[in-house]
Structure 1
Amino acid sequence: MKGGTRNMTEFSDLWEPQADPEMWIVAAAAVLALLLVAYGPAWRVSRNIVTIAHEGGHALVALLTGRKLDGIRLHSDTSGVTVSRGRPEGAGMVLTALAGYVAPPLLGLLFAWLLELGRITLMLWFSLLLLAGMLVMIRNVFGVVSVVTTGGIIFAVSWFAPTDVQAAFAYFGASFLLLAGARPVIELQRLRAMRQAPSSDADQLSQLTGVPGLVWVFVFGLVALASLVLGGNLLIPAETFEAPSFSWTAP
């Protein structure tokens, strides 16, 4: 991948490995992602990305387990709902309910793995493929606007931006999903403690399996934490921890 602005003229470019960005780019992307997660006003906007990944996780697993997907709705309050039909119980329903909260951190981990392999462009275009598949099933205007806007930004960066900008954007996206995986879990348990989320994913899983909802919240949090640790390790360029080499010549 050469410097400057590049156009995606050949699909073979998707498979070409790219050099790791400089450490300051990786660090800046992680700091920006952390600010968006930690700062309340920014989180209320950026949380829409997590909702897209959350509902996309429900939808993908519903299809993979043989359920019929009726549609997805994304709302301006960053909530969402995915409606599927099939057996009201059994492994397919359990996996579908489980997929929502674990999807964002696991997607971040997948992105981190692709970036560790140097597949920056592939990671961006894989994101576009996921969004395109999800767009087909969106059933409300706000959802369409959210997905199209997100996809448009990713497309513009992958098609027009210089390589350093592409790398920074890709590392920011992966870092954000990894860091943002835990906050919705904390918010979920807070709502459950105040009895304001009686139909949450954790409570649906409790009804389906007989396992207490708090245990499922713990599972969500464990997946988010494990993904953050593993993904963070993948995102740090390998040469960062290489021991310095010394040479010595006898007099």
Structure 2
Amino acid sequence: MKEETLIFYAMLCAAILLGRVPLIGPFFRVINTMVHETGHALTTLLFSGKVYKIELFSDLSGTTISSTKGKFARIIVSLIGYPFSTAMAWLMFYLLYHQQQRAVIILFTGMSLFCLIFFVRNIYGVIWLCAFIILNVAALYFLSFEIIYWIALIFSVLLLGDALASVLLLLILSIKAPRKSGDAHSLRQLTGIHEVVWSLLFAAFALWIAYDIIIKFFPKFPSLPV
């Protein structure tokens, strides 16, 4: 158990470092953008709205162009992106905790297929989704159960890390340049509540989810002998 715990945290550190490697890191960090925009799209469809397109970009930004009927629906659609990413990170770690690593890869692949088939049309987005799907399918078919676990862990760590980083960046933007704060600015336009308030709510939820993941799903180091 001690060896497995050390390997887990070694892979955790490797995932964090991977996100900082030029070219490779930004490629895999688009995972969070894809999940975020999927949340907007699914919520739009839930409220019987229309999703016109999703765009994914190499700078980790993304957009979902959609329309819904009613102010309440627009508020929920704007609200859901950041919490959806952190909630999905929680689900991924829950599945990993129960040794369901194949389900993690299948979920990531399913969201990618959903975006590719129905909504993403910009060149980078299409190329990224195709490459990500091919990598995932290859992993499922050709790699061992254990290696799939580590791949799923890396993806989940990147999702959680970027979900946290994005809400903290949003908070900074909402203070320094509120009009550039994306979903928080959209929510201010819809509700009149300042961008900082929405950003703080997003950050609080993300930090709570991260804490819950660590407490529930991260392995504990064995006690040192005394």
Residue identity in the other structure for 2:43: V
Q: Of 94, 103, 106, which aligns to 1:125?
A: 106
Q: CA RMSD in A?
A: 2.4
Deviation at 1:104, TM superposition (A): 2.0
- Judge which range, 44-53 or 160-169, deviates more: 44-53
> Which whole-Å CA distance do the structure 2 matches of 1:227 and 1:36 have between them?
22
Q: Deviations over 1:90-139 (max 9, x none)?
A: 22111111122222221110111111222111221122112111112112
Task: Please give the residue correspondences for 1:39-188 in structure 2 after superposition, counting only pairs within 5 Å.
Answer: 39=20, 41=22, 44-87=26-69, 89-136=70-117, 137-188=119-170
Which is helix-richer, 1 or 2?
A: 2
Deviation at 1:45, TM superposition (A): 4.3
> Which whole-Å CA distance do the structure 2 matches of 1:68 and 1:118 have between them?
37
> Which whole-Å CA distance do the structure 2 matches of 1:153 and 1:196 have between them?
38
Deviation at 1:75, TM superposition (A): 1.9
Residues 112 and 234 in structure 1, CA contact (< 8 A), matched pair in contact too: no
Corresponding residue for residue 202 of structure 2 = 220
> Which whole-Å CA distance do the structure 1 matches of 2:223 and 2:148 have between them?
29
Q: TM-score, normalised by structure 2?
A: 0.86
> Which whole-Å CA distance do the structure 1 matches of 2:185 and 2:149 have between them?
39
> Which whole-Å CA distance do the structure 1 matches of 2:179 and 2:134 have between them?
33
3-state DSSP class of the match of 2:107?
A: helix
- Judge which range, 221-230 or 44-53, deviates more: 44-53
Q: Deviations over 1:55-94 (max 9, x none)?
A: 111111111122111111112322211111222x522111
3-state DSSP class of the match of 2:180?
A: coil
Query: Which runs of 5 or more residues in structure 1 are unaligned?
Result: 1-20, 245-251
> Which whole-Å CA distance do the structure 1 matches of 2:183 and 2:13 have between them?
30
Larger radius of gyration: 1
Query: Which runs of 5 or more residues in structure 2 are unaligned?
Result: none
> Do residues 200 (structure 1) and 166 (structure 2) align?
no
Q: Of 196, 209, 230, which aligns to 2:212?
A: 230
Q: How many positions carry a matched residue from both structures? A: 220
3-state DSSP class of the match of 1:76?
A: coil
Deviation at 1:242, TM superposition (A): 7.6
Deviation at 1:40, TM superposition (A): 8.0
Q: Which runs of 4+ in 1 moved over 6 A?
A: 241-244
Residue identity in the other structure for 1:55: E
Q: Of 181, 189, 207, which aligns to 2:171?
A: 189
- Judge which range, 96-105 or 189-198, deviates more: 189-198
Relative to structure 1, the CA distance from residue 199 to residue 189 in structure 2 (aligned partners, 3 Å threshold; closer, same or farther) is: closer
Q: Of 1, 9, 16, which aligns to 1:34?
A: 16
3-state DSSP class of the match of 1:81?
A: strand
Relative to structure 1, the CA distance from residue 176 to residue 233 in structure 2 (aligned partners, 3 Å threshold; closer, same or farther) is: farther
Relative to structure 1, the CA distance from residue 224 to residue 192 in structure 2 (aligned partners, 3 Å threshold; closer, same or farther) is: same
Q: Of 173, 177, 192, which aligns to 1:210?
A: 192
> Which whole-Å CA distance do the structure 2 matches of 1:96 and 1:205 have between them?
10
Q: Deviations over 1:187-224 (max 9, x none)?
A: 22333333274361101111112221101101111121
Relative to structure 1, the CA distance from residue 40 to residue 208 in structure 2 (aligned partners, 3 Å threshold; closer, same or farther) is: farther
Deviation at 1:179, TM superposition (A): 2.1
